[in-house]
Amino acid sequence: MSTTTLAVLVPLLPFLGAFAGFAAGRRAPGFVRPLAVLPTLAATALAVVVALRQGGGTGEAAVTAATDLTPTGNESLPISLAFHLDGFAVLVAVLVALVATCVQLYSTGYLRDDPRYASYASLVSLFTAAMLLVVYADDLIVLLVGWEIMGICSYFLVGHYWEKAAARSASLKAFLITKLGDVPFLIGILALASEAGTFRISTIVARLTSSLSDFELGHPTLIALLLLAGVAGKSAQFPLHSWLPDAMAGPTPVSALIHAATMVAAGVYFVARLLPVFTASAAALVVLALLAALTMVGSALAALAQDDLKRVLAYSTVGQLGYMLGALAVGNRSAAVFHLLSHGAFKALLFLTAGVVITAAGTASLAAMARIRGLTRRAPDAFWTMTIGLLALAALPPFSGFFSKEAVLGAAEHAAVDPDRGIPAIAGWIVLAAGLVTALLTASYATRLWLLAWRDAPAPPATSPSGHGAPETAEPTAPGAPTAPAVRPATLPMNAVLWLLAVPSLGFGLLYSRLPDWFDGDSLAPTLTTSVLATGVALVGALVTYATWRHTTVLGRDPDPGPVLLGPLHGPARAGFHLDALYDRLFVAPVHSGARLVRFLDREVVDTCVRGAATLPRWLGSALRRTQTGNAQTYLSALLAGAIILTIAVLAAGA
Tell me, yes or no, whether 341 and 457 share the same domain. Answer: yes
Domain with 452 in it: 282-474+514-565
Share of the chain above pLDDT 70, in %: 92
- Confidence check: pLDDT of 608 > 90: no
- Confidence check: pLDDT of 419 > 70: no
Angle between helices 264-273 and 333-361 (to 10 degrees): 170
Identify the pLDDT of residue 63: 82
Kindly indicate the confidence band of residue 212, based on its pLDDT and cuts at 50, 70 and 90.
confident
Q: CB–CB of 379/356 below 8 Å?
A: yes
Domain count along the chain = 3
Tens digits of residue pLDDT in 273-291: 999 999 999 999 999 999 9
Identify the pLDDT of residue 488: 64
Identify the pLDDT of residue 621: 79
Q: Which helix (H) or strand (E) holds 361?
A: helix 333-361
Tell me, yes or no, whether 182 and 147 share the same domain. Answer: yes
Tens digits of residue pLDDT in 124-165: 999 999 999 999 999 999 999 999 999 999 999 999 988 898
Identify the pLDDT of residue 101: 95
Least confident of 293-297, 303-307, 519-523: 519-523
Tell me, yes or no, whether 529 and 620 share the same domain. Answer: no
How many whole angstroms separate alpha carbon 313 and alpha carbon 390?
A: 10
Kindly indicate the confidence band of residue 404, based on its pLDDT and cuts at 50, 70 and 90.
very high
Tens digits of residue pLDDT in 156-206: 999 998 889 889 999 999 999 999 999 999 999 999 999 988 899 999 998
Q: What is the mean pLDDT of residues 329-333?
A: 93
How long is the chain?
655
What residues pair up with 68 in beta bridges, in sequence order? 80
Identify the pLDDT of residue 330: 94
Longest dimension (CA), the chain: 121
Kindly indicate the confidence band of residue 399, based on its pLDDT and cuts at 50, 70 and 90.
very high
Q: CB–CB of 542/444 below 8 Å?
A: yes
Tell me, yes or no, whether 244 and 302 share the same domain. Answer: no
Tell me, yes or no, whether 308 and 203 share the same domain. Answer: no
Q: Please report whether residue 484 resides in a domain.
A: no
- Confidence check: pLDDT of 461 > 70: no
Tell me, yes or no, whether 300 and 257 share the same domain. Answer: no
Q: Please report whether residue 481 resides in a domain.
A: no
Among residues 503, 537, 565, the one where a domain terminates is 565
Q: Please report whether residue 576 resides in a domain.
A: no
- Confidence check: pLDDT of 333 > 90: yes
More confident of the two residues 499 and 465 = 499
Q: What is the mean pLDDT of residues 322-346?
A: 95
Among residues 565, 594, 624, the one where a domain terminates is 565
Q: 3-state class of 85 per DSSP?
A: strand
Among residues 565, 600, 632, the one where a domain terminates is 565
Mean of per-residue pLDDT scores for the chain: 87
Tell me, yes or no, whether 257 and 338 share the same domain. Answer: no
Least confident of 45-49, 205-209, 478-482: 478-482
